[in-house]
Amino acid sequence: MTEKKPFYITTPIYYPSAKLHIGHAYCTTIADSIARFHRLAGEDVFFLTGSDEHGQKIQEKAEAEGVTPIEYTDKIVAGFQNLWQRLNISNDDFIRTTQKRHEKVVQEIFRRIYAKGDIYKGSYKGLYCTPCESYWTEHQLDENGCCPDCHRPVQEVAEEAYFFKMSNYQDKILAYIEENPDFIQPASRRNEMINFIKQGLEDLCISRTSFDWGIPVPIDEKHVIYVWFDALTNYLTPIGFLDDPEKFNKFWPADLHLVGKEIVRFHTIIWPCILMALDLPLPKKVYGHGWLIVDGDKMSKSKGNVVDPIALIDEFGADAIRYFLLREINLGQDGNFSRDALIQRINSDLANDLGNLLHRTLNMIGKFQDGIVLAPQGESEIDASLKADAAETVQFFDENMQKMELSLTIKKVWAFISRANKYIDETAPWALAKEPEKKQELANVMYNLVESLRHISVLIAPFMPITAERIWQQLNLPQAFAEVQLDDIRAWGGTPADLKVGTPEQLFPRIEVEKEEQPTKQPKANKQKKEKKADKKDDSGEVTFDEFSKLQLRVAKVLAAEKIPETDKLLKLKVDLGSEQRELVSGIANHYEPSELIGKNVVMVANLKPAKIRGVVSHGMVLAASQGDDLKVVSVDMPVGAVVK
């Protein structure tokens, strides 16, 4: 058996000064999706996240709350782990820098570099930012004399300390970055680091004596090891740096350190210098992602503009949050978080596009073929086109996920979902079902739809793992979803014939946003005029041409239809008017199954005032003709948007 290719990916270890916000969830969701993709591609993945728990800031917060630092961090870190569980993060290990296994690693690294002569004792007098745990020289401060990272005041400190001779590695790290253009990504971050190094690297203070919440320096226990020297080495601990050389040699160097852009400098300058001092290879890639912006400002615990991811998960579900973050934001760039945009994506992409495709497909198989997927025979040009699109999508997915083009990949998968929905309109299975001689053609269409959904389930698995498995289960495919690999969808035809599909269940209910209309006050004079006009109303039942001409009758295509719960007669329709899409309620459920209406070009009253019916804002009315118990909607062979006169 061929040994799997290893892939080691890490997130930053998060600082437990407060609860995590949606920006942290964004970073970890990116890493999780990349890890899930590499597992899907058949690789042996090790995915690490964790918490960075030492330092002066933590000690001060614990003292303020009247607890010990470990009691303080235990509580906060439990919240981290709960969030990752709620978001379905598939990390293989969770490192805490307070763990004994890590303390041993940090102290051994200190000993080795000290023995090499690259650590020395001195005294430090300089400028220190407690929130960032960073030392700065005066020329590095911002224009207000504050920390260049968080823009808060720094304080002057003076104390005995140990220093790491980072200046010894300045030329070596600069040459490495210039000779390995893929090491720092995106390119804009790489250029920033090159400029920073060229200003000159100073030796790094790596111990403190003014507080004691940290790992003791092994040769001088009145010192504790400064947080960055402690934190960065976390990446070595879980893969066996001290106790499992086989595992360590398998996974190191890391394939990807995923970090926020504000800590790229620590990961691409300080960390590589430490590794060079240890004679260890550098990580293959450090990727600095952008920030989540709220109202034009970076999301930050200190600024108080954070969005709580737990509340969002409770309201919308983890997969919807994951989808929005990964689709909406191009990796490496800043992205705006908006509740309205999230709801719009859920309604359009998840409820309408993906949810409707699954629901329509399973409903039609249940109605037309007793829930059985029959074996396909032959293919039409439309069938061949769908299969070609599927193959192209799988290839695109593979190539672009390797390049971490997450947003681009998701958009491509959704283009295939739209293609599958269009395939239903093109083949009109409801019409085929009415002609017995087209039974095989109908069977081909139903098979191709299930096979499309099988592909889609695998393709969305890195981004929306729970939804992907729910689709797989509703299709009732025999293969265990946990065992599925990307290779399983490289060829068409993996759905077994005579498969009995499951019962359709709604993936993503639409979210209705009610807009309160403010009543406008009418002047009394105008009101009296209107009342007088009403007195002159013609009660004959006839309307004038001018009155009739106010009605706007237009051709609309039914895109989706579903029964409104707890009603017998009402259907909710989504229609396309050419220039826009709308929802409306129609009392025709006793005469039509929802799937029969999809694809029909109907006549509707387009300028009917919106009304809320059973929680649905209905904007329009479909025309129908009735005689006795029989009713038919008025349908025409005219293009969408055509005016009916």
The type of residue at 64 is A
Pair 576, 640: CB distance under 8 Å: yes
CA distance 56 to 17: 11
Asked, as a colleague might, if the bond just before 610 is cis with ω within 30 of 0, I would say: no
Number of Cβ within 10 Å of residue 414's Cβ equals 21
Pair 48, 247: CB distance under 8 Å: no
Considering only the C-alpha atoms of the chain, give the largest distance between any 2 of them, rounded to a whole number of Å.
Answer: 106
Cα atoms in the Cβ-side hemisphere of radius 13 Å centred on 327: 22
For 413, list phi and psi in degrees, rounded to 5.
-60, -40
CA 528 to chain centre: 57
CA distance 90 to 197: 36
Query: Which among 547, 560, 568 has a CA at the least distance from the CA of 508?
Result: 560
Cα atoms in the Cβ-side hemisphere of radius 13 Å centred on 285: 17
27 is in an annotated binding site: no
CA distance 495 to 623: 41
Phi-psi group of 287: left, alpha or beta (phi > 0 → left; psi -120 to 50 → alpha; rest → beta): beta
Distances (CA, A) of 255 to 33, 286, 330, 504, 589: 15, 9, 21, 41, 56
Query: Which among 56, 40, 269 has a CA at the least distance from the CA of 177?
Result: 269
3-state secondary structure 275-323: HHHCCCCCCCCEEEECCEEECCEECCCCCCCCCCHHHHHHHHCHHHHHH
Which positions ≥6 away from 41 have C-beta within 8 Å? 398, 485, 486
CA distance 494 to 490: 10
Query: Which among 353, 511, 378, 519 has a CA at the least distance from the CA of 444?
Result: 378
DSSP assignment of 536-574: T---SS---HHHHHT--EEEEEEEEEEEPTT-SS-EEEE
CA 398 to chain centre: 18
Pair 38, 5: CB distance under 8 Å: no
**Beta partners for residue 159, in sequence order:** 124
Asked, as a colleague might, if the bond just before 272 is cis with ω within 30 of 0, I would say: no
CA distance 284 to 7: 11
Which positions ≥6 away from 583 have C-beta within 8 Å? 572, 573, 574, 575, 616, 617, 618, 619
Q: Which sign does the torsion angle of CA 35, 37, 40, 41 carry? A: negative
Distances (CA, A) of 270 to 55, 69, 323, 528: 18, 26, 34, 80
Three-state secondary structure call for residue 612: strand
- Residues at the binding site are 129, 132, 147, 150
- Residues at the binding site for Zn(2+) are 129, 132, 147, 150
